[in-house]
Chain A
Amino acid sequence: MRVRLAIGLGFAVVAVGLLISLGRSDQRLAGTNAQVQVSGNAVPVAAGRVLCQPEGIPADTAEVRVYVGTPARVAGPLDVTFRKGGRVLATGTLRELRDGVPATASMSPRIANEVPGAKVCFHNRGRSRIYLAGDRTPVRGSGANPYGTVFDDEPRVDYLRPGRESWLALAGTIAHRFGLEKTSFFGPWTMWVVFGLIGCTWLAAVLLLLRRLPAR
């Protein structure tokens, strides 16, 4: 009886933790080109200049976020444009850019489906130079970049989904991502199979505990 109660209590603790974690809402990424957590390099965009880079635009992109540095108190505006084959797919503008403060622009219209082979262009319409955090060079001297190597960075672009979502609401999207780039036979189903396997280990463990542990 005590063992059963202990197992029940354990599951209650885990369930509460799961509900709290999975139910938490926040704005989620649609994608990013960043290979760093914090960039160790910056890409300058001089006043009046346009900078373009090749990108695949992920599905469900409603906003973009860039990480800005500027010698001015306030810089910008900085126009952001998604293009493909000379056609403009979406535009947005970042206003009142401040040094060290990430900036987010709403893109109009929203990108519903993935667009491979596109371009993201930044047009600095302000009077001061803007630095955009790079996408490839980790902080120099950090564990991820002990030799202080500087890569050929492009500006880091985080693509954001619209609104705030819980993990549970995002589960289908995560399952889709989970199945990519692993094996030739994985797909969106794989994540659910993994959870199934975990469920099997739990069931086996509980049965083992009930059989092997003295009931009182």
Chain B
Amino acid sequence: MSTIEFRRRAKRGETGAGERRRFRPRLGRVPRAAWVCAAIACVNAIAWAATTPPYWIPDEPASIGYVQYVAENGDVPRYGVTSDLSGEQGIVYGGLPFGVEGRPAWLKANSDAMFDLLDAGTADRTRPGQAGYMINYPPLYYALDAIPYRIGYGANFLDRLFAMRLLSALLAGLTVLFVFMFLRELLPSTPWSWTVGGLAVAFQPMFGFMSGGVSNDTLLYTCAAALFFLMARAFRRGVDLKLGVGIGVALAAGLLTKGSMLALLPGTALGLGLIAWRAKGPARRPALRGAAAAAGVGLLPYGVWLVIGNLILDRQASDTGGVTSSTAGYDLSISGLLSYVWQSVLPKLPFMADQIPWYVPWTIYFQGFIGRFGWAQYTFPLTWNRIALGLFAVLAGLALRELWLSRAAVRARWPELLTYLTMFGGLVLVIEIAAYRYHATFYGQYFEQGRYLLPMLALYGAFVALAARGAGRRWGPALGAFLIVLAMGHSLFAQLLTIARFYS
């Protein structure tokens, strides 16, 4: 019996409970292509984990410190201590030696000396300040990463570090799985486009690079992709208690990972509200129940964490949320904020002070998305970025064409589109607000990075899938295949760029 036939019969009330039970697992089954895309993302991230030297993923030393503190003490790090490295971290820091703009030494003697020191086992493994400036973040990712650390407890520190990186690689696979499932809900009539979108994300170089390191961003990507998938499912099939709980779990996990997840709350709330509003008659009550479950399950753990952080762990709620920095200054103003946010996306108006010397969407977000690796420190040549811009412009044209051709469906699904746009806009707004605070505090330094947009990977997958569909029924699959091979090449060149940066 086909899905359509089953639905028709279910509508007429001709399906029995047993039949429904048998059918449900089939509906929820994950396509094999999704697993393959996920495996590709995971293996690709493992390749990145082996390629990038220790500490050269943004914020990795402090992130490793946080994990090591949790794994060694079974507790979260506390405020009020000076930033420090554990003895093991310090050996690696000095032995590489590490510098944001540097590269590891290529001397065998250097490497051997560092391993001898680590193998001696005399260096301490934990110090109160080893989480450094990452202390603001909630502990979920670090607690999860403490598992591989503990599994490899007897091994060398650098071996444990590699094990920690492998968890991020696993999360990359999970992220792509959710992106694939999101596309399945979003574009149900063209299964081939799910594969195209899933693979485009799996080979995205910044995603691969970040997924090869110890960073809470990786779990944030997973939670955001899961949220997109579940929201799309809610729009497609209606939200019930089970789905509401699922949305809540994705939200809660994201919030307990990084404060950036707060940026997706308005869009999620809007989406759930619209679903409940559009549900008619008897469908409205389950929808409201589902939305309430999402809110409760999503926000309660985070609230508990904030209270515990405040009362027991001496963390201010604003710091604990990871929304602000404990080092943020107070030279802030609403007019300054509005001017900064305006200039981050639009040309400066005559009465505004010139706060940003470049065009953020191009210099930061686009070039950063194509690839700005290390500590936002090396990138593809400008010519490559210009070629990529040209390609993306063509893809945007094709995606718009597809939306125009499907305008009837787009019109019918406006709440869903509005929800995704609000989630995207919310993230950009939160990044820019944080960027303004950082800029005002750190004497004109800039905060934005392309990688901060990666929680929107599901939308990137949708963009590529739509663009391929926009090429029409005849040429769409061929364009999709061509784009994926280009994405594979892009990923390889990014890895070669990294190899050239650190080893040549």
Contact = CB atoms under 8 A, between A and B. Distances in A.
A34 B489 contact: no
A28 B111 contact: no
Contacts of A193: 50
A197 B375 CA distance: 25
Contact of B489 (A5, A13, A144, A194): A13
Interface residues of B, number: 77
Interface string A161-187: 000000100100010111011111110
Nearest to B109: A116
Nearest to B376: A143
Interface in A1-33: 2-3, 5-7, 9-11, 13-14, 17-18, 21-22, 28-32
B111 A180 contact: yes
Interface in A75-129: 114, 116-117
B195 A178 contact: no
Given A3-B481, A5-B478, A146-B445, A201 B493 contact: no
A200 interface: yes
B99 A182 contact: no
A158 to B, nearest CB: 12
B156 A184 contact: yes
B499 interface: yes
Contact of B159 (A5, A10, A174, A184): A184
Contacts of A31: 105-107
A48 interface: no
A56 B161 CA distance: 26
Contacts of A17: 489, 493
A205 B499 contact: no
A194 B51 contact: yes
A53 interface: no
A100 to B, nearest CB: 19
Interface stretch (B40-48, B351-359, B428-436): B40-48
B102 interface: yes
A148 B491 CA distance: 35
A181 to B, nearest CB: 5
B442 A183 contact: no
Interface string B371-382: 000011100000
Contact of A178 (B105, B442, B499): B499
Contacts of B499: 174, 178, 191
18 contacts: A6-B482, A18-B492, A21-B496, A34-B102, A36-B102, A37-B101, A56-B107, A177-B106, A177-B504, A182-B162, A183-B158, A183-B162, A191-B499, A197-B43, A201-B44, A212-B191, A212-B192, A213-B480
Given A11-B485, A14-B488, A208-B195, 16 more contacts: A7-B481, A10-B481, A28-B504, A29-B504, A136-B99, A174-B503, A177-B503, A178-B51, A180-B104, A180-B106, A181-B53, A185-B159, A205-B199, A208-B37, A211-B33, A214-B477
